[in-house]
Chain A
Amino acid sequence: MRLSRRRFLMTTGTAAAGLAAPHWRIDAAAYEPGLSSAIKNELADIAVALARQLGASYGDIRINRYRIERISTRERQVQDVSLDQTFGFGVRVLVKGSWGFASSSEVTPDEVRRVTQEAVDIAKANASRQRKPVQFLEVPAVKANWRSAFKEDPFDVPIEQNIATLLKVNEAALAVSGVGFVNSSIAWVNEQKFYASTDGSRIEQYIIRGYPDFTVTAVDRGAGDFQTRDALGGPQGMGYEYLRNHDWVKEAKTAGEEAVMKLKAKRVTPGKYDLVLHPSHLWLTIHESVGHSTELDRALGFEANYAGTSFLTPDKAGKLQFGARHVNFFADRTQPAGLATVAYDDEGVPGQKWYLVRDGVFVDWQTTRDLAPLIGRKNSYGCLHSQSWRDVPFPRMPNVSLEPGKEDVSLDQLVADVENGILIYGNGSFSIDQQRYNFQFGGQTFWEIKQGKITGMLRDVAYQSRTTDFWNSCDGLGGQSTYALGGSFTDGKGEPPQSNAVSHGCPVARFRNVNVLNTDSKQGGGTGAETC
């Protein structure tokens, strides 16, 4: 069957007629309606049948559209407003125990045939030299249509509302004496994903994510110094309600005051401190030290050339005391507002929740259909993901979160039991080694704690530790009321590198006796740090 472009447009035009007009639809032609389910299914039929005919034991096709709306401003001006779209498909096949993947932006029946043939040719070229045939789990066929749990689709909200909010944010920051600059931005992402496989699955998902952000800069030109304070909110798997409900303008004023305060803040003295870490900071430490270390593909050496391996080798599951006994980490692809929340992953496995660390012991991995059999598992946790139709799907991180304490302990209660410590908000500089042992994190604001009281602001703070030392030094967790979700819009992994959005929830938490260094090179460039 050959579908003409005219037929595509006729069909999609009909499909669009029943939808509410988004703001892009200033007139009918300005609306990009997408391809109808019927046509996607017809294209899928072609790919699946041809893959089977050419000898594939498994095959899938993903036909996806990605929309990204970006607005960026500085001070009192808008710098850029853009709507980027990319539409295409990728075909993945398993032939004689080897993978083949090919993709194209030309979504036509003939191109689907060409690309499917190319994917099979790649798999066959590799099969002749493949030493370890891929083992692949069977999963039940699924028919599903799912939308992520946003309340207001940001692509239906007039663009000027977004612009107005950003300019108000900028104005609030600039009203603070001493603030020199402010940059603000919003990125809204919509993924329209269609997946079909030789399993018989047909899954459509409509996903929304948002990332409002700002950076306020205070400059001391006389001293040649400048300090910044970024927004603490971060990206969320939410719609326009995130921009509407969070008080960005109030936070921008606070950020301006804190950026100015940082210029004159007391410089930290390197040494050992107790740390109280706010969720706006701790999510990133979880991401790097827990999220990535529990990826099974890393543990098996599949990422050895770039992202690295993991100190959590397969023999450590169920044995290694990863953290203190009250430390529990769970993975969850169903978490509300999670950036990695989906109904199904990119090979038809349902989103689910499971523990990675329980009672402080490392217990489990992040898996996919071809990873799980390598450790004797009969089910996948659904962690396969691709950043686009263009790229091959591979194991990516689900939302990984730290459970709050059983009692509703507050931030103030955790601070009260610290004699000499630092309270840290927001994520700053971050770095961790290729096996996830040694890490260093900065932050946005640092507050000195003396005898249980916050006594003032510090600057130039970073801490270094070793993953298991750090999590075993955790002696206090905030309760559910302190729990919040942070996350990354662009977590990189793989070759060629791919980006993944992922959330990490956590309560405020306290860590004892952590190594802190001063990051102002005039003060020693970190040489005051001790060995971790």
Chain B
Amino acid sequence: MLTERETRKICDTLLELTKADDAVVDVSERIGGNQRFAANAFNTNGSSRERRFSITVWMDKRRGSASGTEFDDAALRRAAEQAEHIAKLSPVDVEYLPTLGPQKYKPVNGFVDATAQLSAAWRAKQLGGILGQCDKANVVGAGIFQSGAVSRASATRHGNFEFEQSTSASLSMTARTPDGTSSGYGLHNHFDVDRLDIAGVARRAVEKAQAGRDAQRLEPGVYPVILEPQAVGDILGFFGRAFDARNADEGRSPMSAPGGKTLLGRPVFDPKINFYSDPWHPELPGSQAAQDGVPAQKVHLVRGGTVENLAYSRFWAEKSGKEPTPGPVNQIFESTGATHSLTEMIAGAERALLLTRFWYIRMVNPRTQLLTGLTRDGVWLVENGKVKHPVRNFRFNQSVMQMLAPGNVEMIGKPERVGGLYPALKLKAFTFSSESDAV
């Protein structure tokens, strides 16, 4: 992996190669390995090592960029000249702001050497064990184990330099019954492979597949739901983008309000909701640097249901007389107060649907954040505080703004790492528009 010293040297070389008035350069090395399995056998795999750089220059406020993977002097020089050539041909960048001078960063702890060094033999052994569990449980397993590490540096003409390393490991698995009538899913990821719950992922996938047999039909419509953390992470995948300040000010965002206003400062969501970014969260470390190298900070987008911040780019902040937003660099959704376990949510439900996860979610109406998608890998009917029986899958059409509105969020669980950090949610109403035959 590229060290801080090595990346600094490459950055310095690139900056020296351009005579542009201003410039920012990025250098990275990414190593990684993956192994897939399907139909209870090993499938494709890969191990990759890639070094990349990019250079963006401004000449008389005209901007040009180039990037490459070749690091000899001639290739770096070519890229610098290509960026300058593009800049000379481009119109003035009216959104140009000088690159940052020296900044102070508070390091993020998201790198574990053992995770970066995982071998193919180790992966094969772990997944071989999972295939054995599938045989014993009489399910058909498919999934992927991935791990990797990134070294990344950025430097500016005005003297800023920042370097960080991170690692990641993840396992996801789908178990299906041999007759194809039921499926279950598990996923976990972490920056430290020793904290990756490999056994838990396999156990959840297998148990759900076994419990989901003989799913019954249920009419689509509006139901109370209990969303497991994976389902919440899936459906809130678009949510962070809704907070862009410029789009809100321009009237083309769910955060826009009639009369040319925005929802900033308004109690739009249930008062139990906090939604924020925290670069130093011990379970979900983000990056030390937010947009354009601005040192990242903890940022609440929603606090107690009120829209506390919109995300201002450096340009839009300058134009609006605001500070650039130092994030988001990750997504954490949590309760402002008490949390409830899935067991408590089920026990407290008179009638609700319990959902594992969603699939193929797409934006239908960006103004209302109306999303469509489907349930997948386990739906159960809960009645009188007990899980009654599995139910066939549905398509949903649901506005996220309405889903998280005051009064619709009954209970919030403890956040779990499923991509971002998301909790289980018990919701009063959720709209299913049709039934799906898919398993």
Interface residue ranges, A against B (CB under 8 Å) = 5, 9, 24, 26-27, 29-32, 77-88, 90, 98-107, 118-119, 121-122, 125-126, 128-132, 158-160, 163, 167, 180-181, 217, 219-226, 300-306, 308-309, 311, 390-392, 394, 429-438, 440, 442, 460, 462, 464, 466, 495-496, 515, 517, 519-522, 525-527, 529-532
Contact = CB atoms under 8 A, between A and B. Distances in A.
B120 A121 contact: yes
Interface residues of B, number: 106
Contact of B52 (A86, A308, A433, A532): A86
B144 A464 contact: no
A148 B79 CA distance: 26
A225 B367 contact: yes
B68 A432 contact: no
Contact of B38 (A305, A517, A525): A305
A229 to B, nearest CB: 13
Contacts of A394: 44
Contacts of A437: 436-438
B64 interface: yes
Interface string B32-72: 01111011111111111111101010000001111111101
Contacts of A430: 362
B93 interface: yes
Given A222-B259, A305-B172, A81 B433 contact: no
B72 A29 contact: no
Contacts of A309: 180
Interface in B117-176: 119-121, 123-125, 127-128, 131, 140, 142-144, 146, 172-174, 176
B365 A129 contact: no
Nearest to A99: B44
24 contacts: A29-B81, A87-B69, A99-B44, A101-B45, A104-B50, A125-B119, A125-B120, A126-B45, A132-B39, A219-B252, A225-B367, A300-B39, A305-B174, A434-B360, A438-B438, A460-B365, A464-B395, A495-B36, A495-B144, A519-B397, A522-B368, A525-B402, A526-B431, A527-B221
Q: Which 4 A-B pairs have the closest CB atoms?
A: A526-B397, A82-B65, A224-B258, A433-B438
Contact of B360 (A219, A223, A432): A432
Contact of A392 (B45, B56, B68, B376): B45
A83 B82 contact: yes
A219 B366 CA distance: 13
B50 A88 contact: yes
Contacts of B64: 81-82
B418 to A, nearest CB: 15
Contact of A105 (B69, B89, B174, B252): B69
Interface of B: 33-36, 38-52, 54, 56, 63-70, 72, 74-75, 77-79, 81-82, 85-86, 89-91, 93-95, 119-121, 123-125, 127-128, 131, 140, 142-144, 146, 172-174, 176, 180, 183, 185, 219-222, 250-252, 256-260, 359-365, 367-368, 370, 372-374, 376, 393, 395, 397-399, 402, 431, 433-439
A529 B435 CA distance: 11
Contacts of B91: 77-78, 163, 167
Contacts of B260: 221-222
Given A102-B46, A437-B436, A495-B172, 7 more contacts: A30-B85, A81-B86, A125-B120, A126-B120, A221-B256, A429-B363, A526-B364
A117 B131 CA distance: 26
A129 B128 contact: yes
Contact of B42 (A9, A98, A434, A466): A98
A158 B89 contact: yes
Contacts of B252: 180-181, 217, 219, 226
A521 B50 CA distance: 45
Nearest to B85: A26
Given A303-B38, A433-B393, A525-B399, A462 B372 contact: yes
Counting chain B CB atoms within 10 Å of each CB, the highest count among A181, A308, A495 belongs to A495
A407 B35 CA distance: 51
A302 B250 contact: no
Contacts of B364: 429, 440, 442, 462, 519, 526
Given A30-B81, A435-B437, A160 B89 contact: yes
Of B39, B89, B219, B363, the most chain A CB neighbours within 10 A belong to B89
Contacts of B142: 301-305
A522 B51 CA distance: 49
B439 to A, nearest CB: 7
